[in-house]
Amino acid sequence: MTRLRVRGERSRSLARDMLAAQVRYGQGQAYAWQQYDLRTEEGVKRLLADRGYTDFRKLVEQVRPKDAVLPLEVHLFSEGWGIKLPPGGQSFAAIRQGDRELARIQGESGRFVLTQYQERFKDSVRNLERCTSGEEANYGDLLSCFADGLASIESFVNYMAEPHLQRLPRGQDKRVGLDFKLDNWTPLLSEGRSIDKSGLWWQHFQEIRDVRNERQSHPKASVYGVSDSTFCHQANLWRNGIALMLLYLHATTGRLAPPELVKRAHMPDIELVVE
C-alpha cells in the first residue's frame, strides 16, 4: 500500500523564497508604489518591516509550517459562486459584459465559474491532497492532478490573451497549442519577456506533460508499472511544474498572484510513508 504525505514544515530557504514571492508577485504589490527595490532581499525586508513585520528571521520561522498564513494575506480572489434558482423555465441568472452575455443558468440551480484557471488549479490541488492524505494513495488521482494543473496553466494564458486575441499570432495549425502560446503569446503579453526555460519549473513542467501524455491523454502501452519511489518523485514534480510555473506566468505577465498559489508553489516536500 502506497502512502504519501506532505511534510509538516517547509525548509527555511523555501520559506524565504515564499515571503519574497508574496511581496514581489502577490499582495505585496499593493505597496509597490512606494520606494522599495523588490528585486533585492533588502527591499523585501524593508517593505515587510514597514507593514509591521520587523523581525525577518522570526517571520521565516513563523511561515515554515505547511498551513501557515502569509503576511499581507487577504483573500480577494473568487473563481466563482453557486446560485439557487426556483424550478421552472422563467427564472434565470446571467453574467454580461457590455451587450454580450457570457453565461446563463435558467430554471435551475447551478454554478458560475469566473476564472477558469483558478477553478482548474483548485481541482488539481484537491487531487494532490487525495494523494497525500496519509491514507492509501491512488496513482489515478495524481494523473488527474497533472491534467487539471496543465489545464490551469493553459487556461491562464488564454485568460490573459482574451482581450488581445485579434493581434496575437495563430501559427499554421488550426488549433493553437500551448507551446505556441507560451513561445509566441507570452512576450506580447509581458512587454517582451520570453519564457525562461532554464528554470526548474520548466524541466518539471515538461516531465509532468510527458507523464500525462503517456499515462492518461495518449496512452500507448496497455500495461505499465509505477514503483512507490517513482510515485513519490512524480508527486513532488507538482510544486515546481504546476504551481511554480503558474506563479512564474503571473509574475511574467504582471498578474497579481493569489496567496494560495504563492503557498502551493513553496509547499513542503512530499514524502513516502514507510511503516
Instruction: Label residue 44 by pLDDT band (50, 70, 90).
Output: very high
Q: Does 97 score more than 80 pLDDT?
A: no
Beta strands in the chain (DSSP E): 3-6, 80-83, 92-97, 100-106, 110-113, 133-136, 270-272
Q: Does 77 score more than 60 pLDDT?
A: no
Q: Which of 95, 114, 133 is the last residue of a domain?
A: 114
Q: Which pLDDT score is estimated for 93?
A: 60
Determine what percent of the chain is predicted with pLDDT higher than 90. Answer: 56
Read off the C-alpha cell for 44: 523585501
Q: Which pLDDT score is estimated for 66?
A: 95
Q: Which of 62, 89, 114 is the last residue of a domain?
A: 114
The reply to whether 132 and 217 lie within a common domain is: yes
Cα–Cα distance measured from residue 275 to residue 266, given in angstroms and rounded to the nearest whole number: 27
Is residue 44 a contact partner of residue 24, using CB atoms and an 8 Å limit?
A: yes
Q: Taking residues 32-61, what's their average pLDDT?
A: 90
The reply to whether 34 and 88 lie within a common domain is: no
Instruction: Label residue 124 by pLDDT band (50, 70, 90).
Output: very high
Q: Does 223 score more than 70 pLDDT?
A: no
Q: Which pLDDT score is estimated for 100?
A: 65
Q: Which pLDDT score is estimated for 39?
A: 87
User: DSSP secondary-structure letter at 9?
Assistant: B
Domain total in the chain: 2
Instruction: Label residue 158 by pLDDT band (50, 70, 90).
Output: very high
- Residue 66 domain boundaries: 3-79+115-272
Rg of the chain over all Cα atoms, to the nearest angstrom = 21
The reply to whether 89 and 140 lie within a common domain is: no
The reply to whether 67 and 98 lie within a common domain is: no
Q: Does 88 score more than 60 pLDDT?
A: yes
Determine what percent of the chain is predicted with pLDDT higher than 70. Answer: 82
Cα–Cα distance measured from residue 3 to residue 139, given in angstroms and rounded to the nearest whole number: 11
Is residue 127 a contact partner of residue 144, using CB atoms and an 8 Å limit?
A: yes
The reply to whether 101 and 146 lie within a common domain is: no
The reply to whether 47 and 143 lie within a common domain is: yes
Q: Taking residues 153-157, what's their average pLDDT?
A: 95
The reply to whether 129 and 230 lie within a common domain is: yes
The reply to whether 142 and 265 lie within a common domain is: yes
The reply to whether 12 and 131 lie within a common domain is: yes
Q: Does 15 score more than 80 pLDDT?
A: yes
Instruction: Label residue 226 by pLDDT band (50, 70, 90).
Output: confident
